[in-house]
């Protein structure tokens, strides 16, 4: 490779990396902003400010956090088992993300061997957004940069906004007058919305919503959500409704 | 079980799941059927949570201010309005209806 080609290749790598950093910040800041709603809803569900912040620090996966708080809001501590199961089942997708991110994080680059601490840190920030930004990049180095930048920006932002939201929720007191129960439903809808691009996902969503509604009067609070998960297992196992929606 | 127990167990479980993706060799969940079920599981759980959060009141099904709020939220998401604004508007719709009825 002559010098000019080398220089232009290096410039392309730099541009890709800058693009990944930009993506990471854009997605990270947008995502971190809704930590406010999580903080407020968690306090409305009966958690204290510290419990709310602990979830954002340690659990750090929005879907599971909203779910845990949502089930506790409807069923209280008695629904604890269902709350744990729902949060854990929503966390299963992070296993798939981790498998996809492992080669991205492990690739040898600056001479460091992948250490246990780095693996733990990478796992901690393996979520929808960091995975999505990494997968959207075209070269390996940019994917790695995108993953870390997105994850770290969200981690910092999400924890700050959670704390702020929890303080706001705490100050609001009686929350049903402020419509926070409707806000929780809208938050779940926001998490679901980007996943509804296929007919199969739409069918599962409708089926699960119907099952959960029918089961609500007959089962303990918390259980209807778990029973509705069976819809995903049945549809996924037999690959029903798998036709893609016409573009 | 106290609230702290629930939080600690659930956090440990979700963290362990994240770690297992990075530590366990790829295999089972890479296959088509388990990957598809894992994907749809997220959809089913979120949809069920929406239903319960919108219609549930303990063990009863109640249609109230939450339903119009959710419809407004869906319309706003369809218009690509950002998450935080939609959640705020949904709360405002429900609160407004409750204030005037």
Is B94 found in the same domain as B70?
Answer: yes
- Domain span at residue B39? 31-60
DSSP β-ladder status, B60-61 and B56-57: antiparallel
Is B89 found in the same domain as B68?
Answer: yes
3-class state of residue B61 by DSSP:
strand
Is B68 found in the same domain as B38?
Answer: no
Residue of B nearest to A226 (CA): B45
pTM above 0.80, yes or no: yes
A3-17, A47-61, B77-91: least confidently modelled range: A3-17
CB A18 within 8 A of CB A131: no
pLDDT, residue B27, reads: 67
Most confident of A115-119, B8-12, B88-92: B8-12
Verify whether the Cβ–Cβ distance A63 to B14 is below 8 Å.
no
Is B51 found in the same domain as B35?
Answer: yes
Residues of chain A positioned with their CB less than 8 A from the CB of B98: 176-177, 179
Task: Tell me which residues of chain B, numbers 60 to 89, contact chain A at a CB-CB cutoff of 8 Å.
Answer: 60-61, 65-66, 69-70, 73-74, 77, 82-84, 86-89
- Please state, in angstroms and as integers, the Cα–Cα distance from residue A13 to each residue in A10, A100, A170, A246, following that order: 5, 22, 47, 36
Taking each helix axis as running N to C, give the angle between helix A62-75 and helix A80-90, from 0 to 180 degrees, rounded to the nearest 10: 160
pLDDT, residue B20, reads: 93
Is B18 found in the same domain as B51?
Answer: no
Verify whether the Cβ–Cβ distance B46 to A191 is below 8 Å.
yes
Verify whether the Cβ–Cβ distance A179 to B42 is below 8 Å.
no
pLDDT, residue B32, reads: 86
* Burial class (CB within 10 angstroms; exposed 0-12, middle 13-18, buried 19+) of B73: buried
The mean pLDDT value for B12-26 works out to 90
Residue of A nearest to B13 (CA): A88
pLDDT band of residue A110 (cuts 50, 70, 90) is low
CA angle B37/B31/A118 to nearest 5° reads 95
A·B CB contacts under 8 A: 312
Separation in Å, CA of A14 to nearest CA in chain B: 28
Q: What is the pLDDT of residues B58-94, one digit of tens each?
A: 889 999 999 999 999 999 999 999 888 999 999 999 9
Is B36 found in the same domain as B19?
Answer: no
Return d(Cα B95, Cα A180) in angstroms, integer: 8
**Can you state the percent helix, strand and coil of chain B, rounding each to 5?**
80, 5, 20
Q: What is the pLDDT of residues A151-177, one digit of tens each?
A: 999 999 999 999 999 999 888 876 667
The number of domains in chain B is 3
Verify whether the Cβ–Cβ distance B60 to A235 is below 8 Å.
no
Verify whether the Cβ–Cβ distance A212 to B23 is below 8 Å.
no
Verify whether the Cβ–Cβ distance A192 to B46 is below 8 Å.
yes
Verify whether the Cβ–Cβ distance A59 to B14 is below 8 Å.
yes
Residue of B nearest to A215 (CA): B59
Is B18 found in the same domain as B39?
Answer: no
pLDDT, residue A247, reads: 43
A92-106, A156-170, A196-210, B3-17: least confidently modelled range: A92-106
Is B46 found in the same domain as B15?
Answer: no
The better pLDDT of the pair A106, A159 is held by A159
3-class state of residue B60 by DSSP:
strand
The mean pLDDT value for A69-94 works out to 93
The mean pLDDT value for A136-158 works out to 93
CB B43 within 8 A of CB A175: no
């Amino acid at each position: 490779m002559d010098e000019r080609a080398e220089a232009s290749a290096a410039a392309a790598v730099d541009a890709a990396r800058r693009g990944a950093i930009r993506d990471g910040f854009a997605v990270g800041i947008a995502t971190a902003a809704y930590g406010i709603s999580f903080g407020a809803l968690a306090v409305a569900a009966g958690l204290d400010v510290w419990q709310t912040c602990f979830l954002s620090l340690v659990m750090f996966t929005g879907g599971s956090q909203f779910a845990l708080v949502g089930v506790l809001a409807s069923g209280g501590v008695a629904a604890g088992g269902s709350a744990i199961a729902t949060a854990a089942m929503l966390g299963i997708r992070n296993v798939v993300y981790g498998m996809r991110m492992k080669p991205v994080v492990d690739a040898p680059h600056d001479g460091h061997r992948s250490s246990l601490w780095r693996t733990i840190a990478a796992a901690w920030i393996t979520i929808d957004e960091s995975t999505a930004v990494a997968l959207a990049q075209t070269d390996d180095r940019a994917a790695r940069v995108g993953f870390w930048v997105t994850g770290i920006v969200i981690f910092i932002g999400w924890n700050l906004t959670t704390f702020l939201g929890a303080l706001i929720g705490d100050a609001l007191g009686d929350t049903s007058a402020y419509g926070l129960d409707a806000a929780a439903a809208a938050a779940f809808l926001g998490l679901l919305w980007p996943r509804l691009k296929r007919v199969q996902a739409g069918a599962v969503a409708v089926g699960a919503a119907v099952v959960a509604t029918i089961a609500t009067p007959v089962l303990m609070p918390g259980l209807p959500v778990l029973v509705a998960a069976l819809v995903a297992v049945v549809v996924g196992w037999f690959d029903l409704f798998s036709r893609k929606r016409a573009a | 079980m106290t609230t702290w127990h629930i939080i600690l167990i659930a956090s440990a479980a979700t963290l362990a799941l994240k770690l297992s993706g990075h530590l366990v060799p790829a295999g089972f969940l890479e296959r088509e059927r388990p990957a598809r079920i894992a994907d749809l599981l997220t959809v089913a759980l979120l949809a069920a949570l929406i239903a319960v959060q919108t219609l549930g009141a303990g063990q009863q099904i109640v249609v109230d201010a939450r339903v119009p709020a959710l419809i407004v939220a869906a319309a706003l998401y369809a218009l690509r309005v950002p998450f935080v604004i939609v959640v705020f508007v949904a709360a405002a719709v429900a609160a407004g209806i409750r204030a005037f009825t």
